[in-house]
Amino acid sequence: MSHLTVYLENDARRPELSTSDPDLMAGHLAHVGIMFERWTADTPLPASADGEAVLAAYAQPVEALKAARRFRAVDVVRVTPATEGVAALRAKFLDEHTHDEDEARFFVEGAGAFYIHLDRRVLRVVCEAGDLLSIPAGTPHWFDMGPRPRFTTIRFFTRPDGWIASPTGDTIAARFPLFEPATVDAA
Ligand SMILES: [Fe+2]
């Protein structure tokens, strides 16, 4: 289930806010400049579906988003526990980093957790199928796909190299709970 947990940056144990209410999530995130929207993502995708097939299945919302937000390119990341090098892939996004452009993701399968470091707080956003999240350029964040990753997300870009990550060098990510899907609902 989509979920927002807000922590003070120096206290990963006692959240200030913990909610799965989509309107509350969207409102709270919008207040700090982060777009969160619930879209529909219920098109069944066969296990063999590649990026092209995923984009074809979601052509309508993808085109609408590209037009509305001036995105120029999209691609697809699809990860399962069987994906080659999955442990390294998980580790790659676990350190705090920034990008030169917004990080916009539309989840169409599975789930993963973004951790956004903003205003002396960490906002953990567990995204699931149907969630659209956009983190503004330059905002420190990290992402945990969990110990048994399973998600498909469509990425939106305004520049071909916009996704390149710049590490902040901050070790804050290590102080916050990892994404363990079984515990998310109890958070
Ligand atoms: Fe990122």
Q: Where are the domains of the chain?
A: 3-184
Nearest 5°: phi and psi at 114?
-95, 145
The pLDDT confidence band at residue 181, using thresholds 50, 70 and 90, is confident
- The total of other beta-carbon atoms located within 10 Å of residue 50's CB is 11
CA of 34 to the centre of ligand 1 (A): 14
* Token pair listed for 172: 């804050």
- From the list 179, 111, 95, the residue with the least C-alpha distance to 151 is 111
pLDDT of residue 185 exceeding 70, the answer is: no
* Sequence ranges of the binding site for Ni(2+): 97, 99, 103, 141
CB distance 130 to 63 below 8 Å: no
Nearest 5°: phi and psi at 130?
105, -15
117-167: per-residue pLDDT in tens?
999 999 999 999 999 999 999 999 999 999 999 999 999 988 777 678 899
pLDDT of residue 187 exceeding 50, the answer is: no
Superfamily for 3-184? Jelly Rolls (2.60.120.10)
12-64: per-residue pLDDT in tens?
999 999 999 999 999 999 999 999 999 999 999 999 999 999 999 999 999 99
CA of 167 to the centre of ligand 1 (A): 10
pLDDT of residue 69: 85
CA of 135 to the centre of ligand 1 (A): 8
CA of 161 to the centre of ligand 1 (A): 13
Q: What's the DSSP call for residue 185?
A: T
CA of 168 to the centre of ligand 1 (A): 11
pLDDT of residue 72: 87
Nearest 5°: phi and psi at 66?
-60, -45
Nearest-angstrom CA–CA distance, 20 and 5: 9
pLDDT of residue 159: 79
* Token pair listed for 169: 């060098």
- From the list 152, 149, 153, the residue with the least C-alpha distance to 179 is 149
pLDDT of residue 182: 67
